[in-house]
Amino acid sequence: MSINGEPLRKILELEDKKGYLDSAVIGGLDRFLRNWAGPAMESITGPRLLSRFHKLHLVDSDYAALTKQERKEWVKKVLDFLTEVEHKEEEKGEAKPAPVAKKPSPKARVPRTTVTQSIDSPITVVKGVSSSLATKFDKLGVKTIRDLLYFFPNRHLDYSQRKTVSQLTEGEEETIVANVWQAHEVRPGGRRSTEAIVGDETGNVRVVWFNNPYLARTLTPNMRIVLSGRVSIFNGRHVFESPEWEPMEDRELIHTGRLVPLYPLTQGLYHRQVRKLMKAVVDQWAGQVEDFLPQEVKERCNLLELPQAISQAHYPEDEALKDRARVRLAFDELFLLQLGVLNKKRQWQEDQPGNPLSTETAVLNTFLESVPFELTAAQDRVLKELLADLEKPQPMSRLLQGEVGSGKTIVATAALLMTAANDYQGAFMAPTEILAEQHFATICQLLSGVGHLEEQEDYLHSYSGLLSRPLTVALLIGDIPQARKRELQQRILDGEIDIVIGTHALIQKDVEFHRLGLAVVDEQHRFGVAQRSTLRQKGFNPHVLVMTATPIPRTLALTLYGDLDLSVIDQLPPGRQEIKTKWLKPTQRDSAYAFVRREVTSGRQAFIICPLIEESEAIQARAATAEYERLSQEVYPDLKLGLLHGRLSAAEKDEVMRRFRSGELNILVSTPVVEVGIDVPNATVMMVESADRFGLSQLHQFRGRVGRGQEQSYCMLLAEDPSETGQERLDIIEKVQDGFQLAEEDLRLRGPGEFFGTRQSGLPDLRMAKLSDVALLELARTEAEKLFQKDKSLENPEHSLLAKELARVWTTEGGEWS
Ligand code: ADP
Ligand code: MG
């Protein structure tokens, strides 16, 4: 049995350095020793060691009373004792020391202790992991043994096919087993390197390790080694350049001759070191991981056992097992994710009763008859789905997807109207203030077709004729004068306002409702579980409708919004035409300007989007202003141009948008703020500068700003010097009109992280699962649903490990999944 001498050793060495002043540890050495010695003593079983241990008087030391000289002698005695103990430990641990054993310095080793170790212990309990090594792993997010087991390689090198020297092929990654004939230091170009000649029964080959002179001493003649690496040609002969190597012994290979893992590294970590450590950890610990998946799920889905999957993911026997390991681990991630979202949905819907809202058919019909068009079949179907949800006592939790221009606003307005008809309040939230203002204008316009504008104050309209009382709609945004804002807030709290339109700030702070019945969240894919909980924490349990024009691929929708029901408006209003999209070369800019002028002359309007320079609004605003001035003075001195950017006050933005919508302005020069939602049917040209800098979905959103009326519309994309992926995007957007197809392409090109902008997307950290794994995701979803039906709260004893695992991933990962 062994003791952990490392902390004591460190302190004694420090004490030595500091001159024996009893200053190495706060509170004095005696106190430290009393704490250390107890457990240490318990872990010593050998009688001889134990008696020596007692002679040192570590349990009842009186270091403080010793003279300097006595202290020095005592410290030396204890250090010698520790070294001896550690050596014993080493001999036991390394039954077969490597023939080329570099003498490990005793200090570098932390002896294993028998103090309770579990897979959640810090990695320093692993033999060979010093605290400085642990710090490096910490940078990679690895703190515990479990983290290490789940610290998977980025990929594997396939060194599994052994060749003979005579079979080597130039340019290939090859593996051979050979004898070392000679090895010596060489200095090609002044670099201290090692050169060796190795061979087998078929021939000899030269090997060079650049910048590594030390190997010359390690590789002794006749040693048998395995080499894996690229073969090149030098002076007409084969040579291995800096291959991986290891001695051929009767233990498992780690670096060569197999599928060799390549781990993500950070400064101060090396492949050989990490591989060696990982092999030891996997061998010792993988078997102790508890498999939390119910047996029947594993059988039905033909999954590997968890310990096997973990070890095969690191050191696979072959490609097939490596793949099965990945499938098992990916399934776990997706399955836990789905169980988690299902659980959230259950909490949302069951824990608190919602507010059933009845459909007031008369009010609804009056409203629908008053709008100047008929609902499309898809709008009609989705509206029915919403109304059915609203009638239920559980709160609605629904995602409404609809292509740009598919007409989501009117559907949401109808639902808000039903909410008001039931004497509940509704909130309509947009991602930006400009959009909130536009929604306010749109909804007021829709209502004015049927109601009679009773009262009009700043930011508040009230309509009679629809309900038995006036229906009030208010806009609440940051730019409203404080006094007015407080007044509106008070009236919302008093329940005098039926529909409040604003940004997310509506629910996040400031505003208290009297009786919130429905919250609509528009054009926003980041309104996740956390935001919905905010609503509940405020004491509401409203129906929630999340609307997005970003067509989220099904896999992502299930992942991000697995707790929402899904409605899709998959049809555009009639008469919409394909928007002709063209990617233009810089030399075609003048003809693009001329084209804009022609459209304007025939009564249409145009958007010109300025390049995305930086995320900073201030910088973008400045760039847009400069571009606006250039265009107004040099290109279109005779036309009316407007400028829109995020730095304008709400009143200014409002004014610009009003003038553009009314046709007073011919061209709107804008930063990318115009991206979502803006609706001006007479605009037929969208010109985007530096189009290669935008993602596909964003370009599609820009394009969706035109083609909203009856006229043929155009989208012109300018790019100075697009990168290869930039070109690929521009090619795709030129050809593809369908938003869903574009979203899939976007996801493929950019990956889910960037697809959603930032990590705040709430996207869980999937290591093994890929979002392109549709089949696996659906399998996980189905299995999660099955389990959920049988044992919703995982109370069944055979699900207790699963319940534990679920609790672990959904709470400890820094709130990532919560
Ligand atoms: P989005 O789904 O992008 O938010 P909007 O709700 O802004 O789309 O609607 C886009 C445009 O289509 C608006 O001008 C709206 O008035 C119009 N619209 C909506 N539904 C219909 C319909 N059924 N028929 C004709 N036009 C419609
Ligand atoms: Mg919209």
CA atoms of 814 and 499, how far apart (whole Å): 36
Mean pLDDT along residues 730-744? 86
What's the CA gap between 615 and 603, in Å, rounded?
Answer: 34
In which residue are the tokens 């009009």 written? 456
Own/partner long-range contacts of 616-621 (Cβ < 8 Å, ≥24 apart): 617/645, 617/646, 617/647, 617/671, 618/647, 620/645, 620/646, 620/671, 620/672, 621/645, 621/646, 621/647, 621/648, 621/671
Task: Identify the residue with better confidence: 526 or 327.
Answer: 327
Q: Which tens digits make up the pLDDT trace of 33-47?
A: 776 776 676 666 666
> Residue whose CA is closest, atom 4 of ligand 1?
408
Residue identified by tokens 């109808």 is 414
% of the chain at pLDDT higher than 90: 40
| Mean pLDDT (whole number) for 113-119 | 67
Q: Which mutation among 409, 428, 524, 702 tests ligand 1's pocket best, with the greatest number of atoms within 8 A of CB?
A: 409
**Residue 731 and residue 137: Cα distance in Å, rounded?**
43
Q: Is 722 in the pocket of ligand 1 (CB under 6 A)?
A: no
Task: Give the C-alpha separation, 410 to 379, whole Å.
Answer: 9
Determine which residue's CA is closest to atom 17 belonging to ligand 1. Answer: 407
| Spatial distance between the Cα atoms of 558 and 345, rounded to a whole number of angstroms | 13
Q: How far apart are the first and last CA of the chain?
A: 43
- Ligand 1 center–CA 710 separation, angstroms: 12
| CA nearest neighbour of 433 among 647, 680, 608 | 647
Ligand nearest to the CA of 661: 1
Mean pLDDT for all residues in the chain? 83
Distance CA 672, CA 620 (A): 9
Asked if residue 573 has its Cβ within 6 Å of ligand 1, the reply is yes
Q: Which residue in the block uniquely carries the two structure tokens 């606006």? A: 628
Of 423, 350, 412, 352, nearest in space to 387 by CA = 412
pLDDT of residue 73: 86
pLDDT for 812 equals 42
Q: Does the beta carbon of 407 sit less than 6 angstroms from any atom of ligand 1?
A: yes
DSSP 762-800: -----SS--TT-HHHHHHHHHHHHHHHHH-TT--SGGGH
Distance CA 165, CA 167 (A): 5
Two tokens at 612? Answer: 């995305």
Burial (CB count <10 Å: 0-12, 13-18, 19+), residue 640: middle
Q: 770: exposed, middle or buried (C-beta count within 10 Å: 0-12, 13-18, 19+)?
A: middle
Pairing between β-strand 683-688 and β-strand 605-609 as defined by DSSP bridges = parallel
Q: Which helix (H) or strand (E) holds 492?
A: helix 482-493
* 129-150 pLDDT, tens digit each: 888 899 999 988 899 999 999 9
Cβ neighbourhood burial of 666 (10 Å; 0-12, 13-18, 19+): buried
Element housing 5 (H / E): none
The predicted-structure confidence for 466-507, as pLDDT tens digits, reads as follows 888 999 999 998 878 889 989 999 999 999 999 999 987 776
Is ligand 1 within 6 A of the CB of residue 214? no
**pLDDT at residue number 636:** 96
State which ligand 1 atom lies nearest to the alpha carbon of 379.
Answer: 23
- CA dist 232 and 214 (Å) reads 23
Q: How far apart are CA 592 and CA 689, in angstroms?
A: 11
C-beta of 551 in contact with ligand 1 (< 6 A): no
* Model pLDDT for residues 280-331, shown as the tens digit of each residue: 999 999 999 999 999 999 999 999 999 999 999 999 999 999 999 999 999 9
Q: Which is higher by pLDDT, 346 or 813?
A: 346
Residue 91: predicted pLDDT = 47
Q: How confident is the model at residue 22 (pLDDT cuts 50, 70, 90)?
A: confident
Ligand 1 center to 738 CA (angstroms): 17
What SS3 string covers 47-89?
HHHHHHHHHCCCCCCCHHHCCHHHHHHHHHHHHHHHHHHHHHH
Is residue 578 a contact partner of residue 712, using CB atoms and an 8 Å limit? no
The dihedral region occupied by 61, where left means phi > 0, alpha psi between -120 and 50, and beta the remainder, is beta
Helix 408-421 and helix 377-390: axis angle, to 10°? 30
CA distance 587 to 698: 24
Distances (CA, A) of 112 to 88, 116, 123: 12, 11, 11
Ligand 1: residue of 399, 429, 679, 682 to mutate (most ligand atoms within 8 A of CB) is 679
Instruction: Give the C-alpha separation, 575 to 580, whole Å.
Output: 15
pLDDT, mean of residues 111-120 = 65
460 vs 465: CA distance, rounded Å: 17
Q: Is 571 in the pocket of ligand 1 (CB under 6 A)?
A: no
Is residue 354 lining ligand 1, measured as CB closer than 6 Å?
Answer: no
Residue 392 sits at the vertex; the CA angle it makes with 391 and 394, to the nearest 5 degrees, is 140
Ligand closest to CA 412: 1
* Residue 307: closest CA among 282, 284, 286: 286
Q: Are 599 and 606 in contact (CB under 8 A)?
A: yes
Residue 402 CA: which ligand 1 atom is closest?
A: 2
Please report the DSSP string for 617-645 in residue order: HHHHHHHHHHHHHHIIIII-TTS-EEEE-
Burial class (CB within 10 angstroms; exposed 0-12, middle 13-18, buried 19+) of 634: exposed
pLDDT for 760 equals: 38
How many Cβ atoms from other residues are within 10 Å of residue 75's Cβ?
20
Which whole number is the average pLDDT over 762-767?
60
Q: Which residue has the higher pLDDT, 151 or 618?
A: 151
Q: How many CB atoms lie within 10 A of CB 251?
A: 11
- pLDDT attached to residue 767: 76
Q: How far is the CA of 741 from the centre of ligand 2 (A)?
A: 20
Q: Is 647 helix (H, G, I), strand (E, B) or coil?
A: coil
CA of 447 to the centre of ligand 1 (A): 15
Overall average pLDDT of the 391-415 stretch: 90
- Residue 156 near residue 262, CB atoms below 8 Å: yes
Q: Which residues contact 757 (CB under 8 A, 6 or more apart)?
A: 526
Containing 481, the helix (H) or strand (E) segment is none
* 814: confidence class by pLDDT, cuts 50, 70, 90: very low
Q: C-alpha dihedral over 324, 327, 332, 338, to 10 degrees?
A: -150
Buried b / exposed e along 547-563 (16+ C-beta atoms within 10 A): bbbbbbbebbbbbbbbb
CA distances from 29 to 65, 85, 430, 446 (A): 11, 21, 63, 81
